[in-house]
Structures are given as structure tokens and as C-alpha cells.
Amino acid sequence: MAFHRHTGPGSYTVGTMSERFDCFYCRDPLHGKKYVQKEGRHCCVKCFDKICANTCIECKKPIGADSKELHFKNRYWHDTCFRCFKCYTSLVNEPFMLRENNKVWCSNCTAAADAPRCKGCFKPIIAGDQNVEYKKMVWHKDCFTCSQCKQVIGSGSFFPKGDDFFCVSCHEHKFAKTCAKCKNPITSGGLTYQEQPWHSECFICSNCKKQLGGKRFTAVEDDFYCVDCYKECVAKKCAGCKNPITGFGRGTSVVNYEDESWHDYCFKCTKCARGLANKRFVCHNGKIYCAECPKRL
């Protein structure tokens, strides 16, 4: 910050002549009159104002011998012209900045002009103002609002979408996926099954209510079952080993005959124990035999 010097005209003196003396320019006698001495020459006030006076850079008029002059870096002002270009406050004995077009600015207006502009209200953000910055853009804290509900986001969480910004609530309702079960927005996490989104806490076993995310399960129409509940409550029981027939591990193939079912490895001849899956068999007295064994009974 530069500071001005408040002085009278430093390159001349003003006095009253008591002896015979003439003005250097008009040759009028200066005896008993007010005169100005500049660069070793004496001149009357009229000639000084007309010929020698500095020109005020603000009003473009001469700074007469009777005026107070301020100067800075070979520029001159009347003291009454030395005002802030923006707010017109007098800058005599005040800090100032000389800016473009030889205009002087007070420190407050300089700070405001150089401050970043709020993207919301377009007013300057002065040092000390609470603000929000995002990708080289800046807002006053109270100007950073949700594009949907217009409520102040401030320093809270938000979601950018193009040139818009949304609070958490509005983003959930406008953009978040909807759970296939509860129909509420999925704000974080979740999972997908058959191209449908689910809350993790909604994708559960229909029997024991345990979450199934990341675990083996079986879908039966619109219900889901964990391995244990499917075996206990849903799966058919093998007519051979009496254990549940599931799609887990060994025994994924099933043999059905009349109203009964078998694991493929349990469907075998009652007499010779030969496996009969995908082979000819005979049912005799409720038991399964290969084509040969009934002949030996």
C-alpha cells in the first residue's frame, strides 16, 4: 500500500515583496503584493496560476498558489479532489492505492474490487466472510443453496449435477435409485439382483430375516431363502436319503417320479444299487429296481 505526502507546493514559495521587484512574466511591479518564487523566478499570483501551476490530475484545473496541493509520483491533486474513485471519501492523510487511469482508491474499496466474487449474489467476498469453495468457484456461505429446495447448504454435504447443486434430501428424491422392496431411495451401499436395486437391509431371508448380501440364497417366486431355511422349510426331501434336495453342492440334478423326488445319486436300484438316473427302471411294490433285478426276485 502506498501513502501520499500532504505538503504545500514543494517547488515554489509564496511571499510579499517590500522592495521594487517585477513579475518575471508580465513585468507588473510586485512591491507590496503577494508573489510566488519558483525556480529562482518571481512572479505574480495571476501569472503563476496561468503559467506555472501544476494541473490537478482529477479535475484538470490548475492548482493555484492559494490552494493546497497533494502530489505522488509526479501526479498532482487539489486536496479537495483527492478522494476515493469509488466511494468519494477524502483520502487526505489516509492510506490509498493508485490504480488504473490515475484513479486513487481507499483501502476498503481496493479490497472489495480485488476480492473474489460470489457465484450466487455476485458481490465481493471480503476477507473474514464465511464462504464455500468448489472447483475454483466461491460462494458466501448463505448464498450456497440447493438448486431444488433453495435451502442453504452452507458447509453441509451436497451433490453436484452439472451446474446445479443438491442437498442430500433433494438428491435422494430426484436422482437416487429406488429399492425394489420398500420403494425408498438408496442413498449409499445397496446391492443389485436381476438388474433391480435393493437396500442391503431389505434383501433378506423370508424366513429368518437375515441379510443375504454376499451370501448363497435361493429365490422361490418372490421370496428369498438362506441355505439353512431353504433346506428346512422349502426344499423337497429326497425319497432315498431323506435329506433336502437343494441346488447347493453335490446333488444339483433331481429325479422326479410320481409324487416323489430323489437326488440323482440316490436314485438307484433297491437290490443292486446301480445308479438309475437317466436309465430305464422298474417300480415294484413301491420300490425302484433296474430292468434286470425284478426278474431275480
Q: Give the structural domain span for 80.
A: 53-112
Buried/exposed 69-80: b ≥16 CB within 10 Å, e otherwise = bbbbeebbbbbe
Residue 253 maps to a domain = yes
Does residue 193 sit in the same domain as residue 161? no
Does residue 240 sit in the same domain as residue 225? no
How many domains, the chain?
4
Does residue 203 sit in the same domain as residue 251? no
Residue 140 maps to a domain = yes
Query: In this structure, what is the dihedral angle of CA atoms 13, 17, 19, 21, given to the nearest 10 degrees?
Result: 70
Burial (Cβ within 10 Å: 0-12, 13-18, ≥19) of residue 205: buried
- CATH assignment at residue 261: 2.10.110.10
Residue 3 maps to a domain = no
Q: Give residue 1's pLDDT.
A: 34
CA angle 60, 64, 67 (to 5 degrees): 100
* Strand locations in the chain (E): 5-6, 12-16, 34-38, 41-44, 69-72, 75-78, 96-99, 103-106, 131-134, 137-140, 158-161, 164-167, 191-193, 196-198, 217-220, 223-226, 254-257, 260-263, 281-284, 287-290
Distance (Å, rounded) from C-alpha 294 to C-alpha 120? Answer: 92
- Pairing of the two strands 96-99 and 75-78: unpaired
Does residue 214 sit in the same domain as residue 240? no
Q: Among candidates 20, 21, 57, which has minimal Cα distance to 37? A: 21
Does residue 286 sit in the same domain as residue 252? yes
Residue 268 maps to a domain = yes
Residue 9 maps to a domain = no
Residue 223 maps to a domain = yes
pLDDT tens, residue order, the chain (297 aa): 333 333 444 455 555 555 567 888 889 888 888 888 887 788 888 888 888 888 898 888 888 888 888 888 888 888 888 889 888 888 888 888 888 778 888 877 877 776 788 888 878 777 667 888 888 788 888 888 898 898 888 878 888 888 888 888 888 777 778 888 998 888 777 888 888 899 999 999 999 999 988 888 888 888 899 988 888 888 888 888 888 887 655 546 788 888 788 888 888 888 888 888 888 888 888 788 888 887 766
Residue 2 maps to a domain = no
Does residue 93 sit in the same domain as residue 120? no
Residue 121 maps to a domain = yes
| 8-state DSSP, 141 | G
CA atoms within 13 A on the CB side of 274: 12
Nine cell digits for residue 58? 482529477
Q: Among candidates 176, 177, 171, which has minimal Cα distance to 146? A: 171
Return the sign of the alpha-carbon dihedral for residues 182, 186, 188, 192: positive
Domain finish residue from 97, 112, 127: 112
Domain finish residue from 149, 173, 197: 173
Does residue 213 sit in the same domain as residue 252? no
